[in-house]
Structure 1
Amino acid sequence: MITYHVLIPTSPLWPQATTQIGAIDWPAGPHLAKRMQTPAVWQPFERIIYATTDDQLAGFCALLAEDIVPDTPYSPFVSSVYVAPDYRHQGISLRLVQQAETAAEAVDIEGLYIVTRHMGLYEHLDYALVDRREDQFGRLNRVLYKNFA
């Protein structure tokens, strides 16, 4: 059974999540884990959504003020949505995003952006295209937005 945890830097599971997120083979994981090692840079609304089964990482995403698209007027973001290979194709990525939405709404955020190159995934949750922008690596991404009102 997958358990979803909403973490802030003072959460007891923060160190475990940092280690496990940093160990994945997708570069966004170690990048996020490095940021997690500096709790002072976290804004009060920022969160990690950490999905586990027992003590194993099933997936994660982050609710962040900034994402990989520089110099943008957009904020906040659902960032770094990741599902471990053994848990893919079970709807976990969408559940992670829903958990981030709930965490955002709990701190009075009215909508979220997602930067992605995936087509059709986040549209299942009513995200809509608002822009196309290059990320910090020069890749063209879609910027999607969902208003919670």
Structure 2
Amino acid sequence: MKVIDFYASPRREHWLSKLRQCDWRAGDFLCELINTDRFYETLGPASKLLLLTDGEELVSFCTLAEKDEIRDTALTPWIGFVYTFPEYRGRRCFGILLEEAKRLAREAGFEKIYISTDHIGLYEKYGFEYAGDAETIYGGTSRCYIADTD
């Protein structure tokens, strides 16, 4: 398996077609951001879309973004849009993406990374700790988690 940066790939159309196969509403929104050239506007100019691939297949993906759904925060960077295709679940594939995201964040000078989610017990397996609830840009609240980049 290999991690690639979607926007650095010469095969973006191929990978976008694989992203469209995701059966998740947030995945649809991510594809819309890509199709309308609003990815960087929405998530920040230094943001990345990381893909875990297995040959020609897309296994898992996530963003490493300057901004997320949390309102009015100076916290950055955020892991977001985390998805693993059903046939690859249970193999801790996200861990491979997370290690690459941590490496990139560390190289950019960040000591911490954050994730906003309603899941309980999922990201703790990867070293994240619950940091509290925060208001989202949608008016609700989300659980925020923090992890070291080392």
Query: TM-score, normalising length from structure 2?
Result: 0.82
Structure 1 match to 2:11: 13
Q: Name the CA distance, whole Å, in 2 between partners of 1:95 and 1:138.
A: 32
Give the counterpart of 2:31 among 14, 33, 48: 33
Computed over aligned residues only, the root mean square deviation of the Cα atoms, in angstroms, reads 2.3
Deviation at 1:36, TM superposition (A): 2.4
Partners of 1:148 and 1:96 in 2: CA distance:
13
Q: Does structure 1 conserve the Cα–Cα contact (< 8 Å) formed by 2:131 and 2:146?
A: yes
- Identify which range, 96-105 or 39-48, moves more after superposition: 39-48
| Equivalent residue, structure 1, for 2:98 | 97
**Percent same amino acid at aligned positions?**
25
How far, CA to CA, are the matches of 2:56 and 2:71 in structure 1? Answer: 35
Residue 3 (structure 2) aligns with: 4
Instruction: Identify unmatched segments of 5+ residues in structure 1.
Output: none
> How many residues align structurally?
147
Evaluate the alpha carbon distance shift between residue 27 and residue 111 of structure 1 in structure 2; reply closer, same or farther with a 3 A threshold: same
- Between 39-48 and 122-131, report the one with greater CA deviation: 39-48
Partner of 1:65: 66
* Structure 2 residue ranges without an equivalent (≥5): none
Shift, 1:141, TM fit: 2.1
Deviation at 1:34, TM superposition (A): 2.1
Structure 1-normalised TM-score?
0.83
Q: Which residue does the alignment assign to 2:88?
A: 87
Correspondence 1:48 to 2:49 = yes
Relative to structure 1, the CA distance from residue 95 to residue 21 in structure 2 (aligned partners, 3 Å threshold; closer, same or farther) is same
Q: Is the 8 A contact 2:114 2:145 kept in 1?
A: yes
